[in-house]
Amino acid sequence: MTPGTGPTTSPADLRIRRANEDDSEGIVEIWRTIAAERIYSAVDQPWTVEQQRAYLSSLSPREAVHAAIDGSGSIAGFQSLDLWAASIRSMMHVAQLGTFVLPDWRGRGVGAALFEATRAFARECAYAKFVAQVRASNRSAHAFYHRLGFHACGRLTRQVRIDGLEDDEILMEFFL
């Protein structure tokens, strides 16, 4: 989609499905956009397609990326669910979430639809809790996660440095 021209399909045409390695390019395109915006994520440098492919193929059976696919087959947004600490058995019930939607699709229910799919997957995989790390300045993401039922539970001070500016990260948790 050409930036600024608006989505070519309506939210009703969106479908949510598990992402696979063939989605690497579409997901990296979203990372490029988010990284270029500078203000929403701690990620200020996009991964390469190869790195993204390696990440997707490395996911364990209890981890997943869900993608929102528009009517033309492009990825409008994605949500990742990773183990919070893959090597610590006592935390196997905790997952970390990340949610990223292209600008033209924001505020149109994509993130909420992704969360429904992620939550269903998490229940099947016996998770009890989600954690999201959100930049303190990212008010829209706070509102988004709060609306889903997350609560702020901690702050990592001066955790992000981008372009000479520091930001805190807020930890938000959700119990399934």
Ligand X SMILES: CC(C)(COP(=O)(O)OP(=O)(O)OC[C@H]1O[C@@H](n2cnc3c(N)ncnc32)[C@H](O)[C@@H]1OP(=O)(O)O)[C@@H](O)C(=O)NCCC(=O)NCCS
Under the rule (CB under 6 A), what is the footprint of ligand X? 34, 40-41, 99-101, 106-112, 132, 134, 138, 140-141, 143-144, 147
Give 56 or 113: the residue with its C-beta nearer to ligand X: 113
Give 121 or 144: the residue with its C-beta nearer to ligand X: 144
Give 68 or 83: the residue with its C-beta nearer to ligand X: 68
Residue closest to ligand X, measured at CB: 111
The minimum distance between CB 33 and ligand X, in angstroms, equals: 9
The minimum distance between CB 160 and ligand X, in angstroms, equals: 11
The minimum distance between CB 118 and ligand X, in angstroms, equals: 12
| DSSP state string for 108-174 | TTHHHHHHHHHHHHHHHTT--EEEEEEETT-HHHHHHHHHHT-EEEEEEEEEEEETTEEEEEEEEEE
The minimum distance between CB 117 and ligand X, in angstroms, equals: 12
Say if CB 137 and CB 167 are below 8 A apart.
yes
Cα gap 46→30, rounded to integer Å: 9
Give 49 or 98: the residue with its C-beta nearer to ligand X: 98
Say if CB 83 and CB 60 are below 8 A apart.
yes
Question: Residues 23, 30, 62, CA angle at the centre, nearest 5°?
Answer: 50
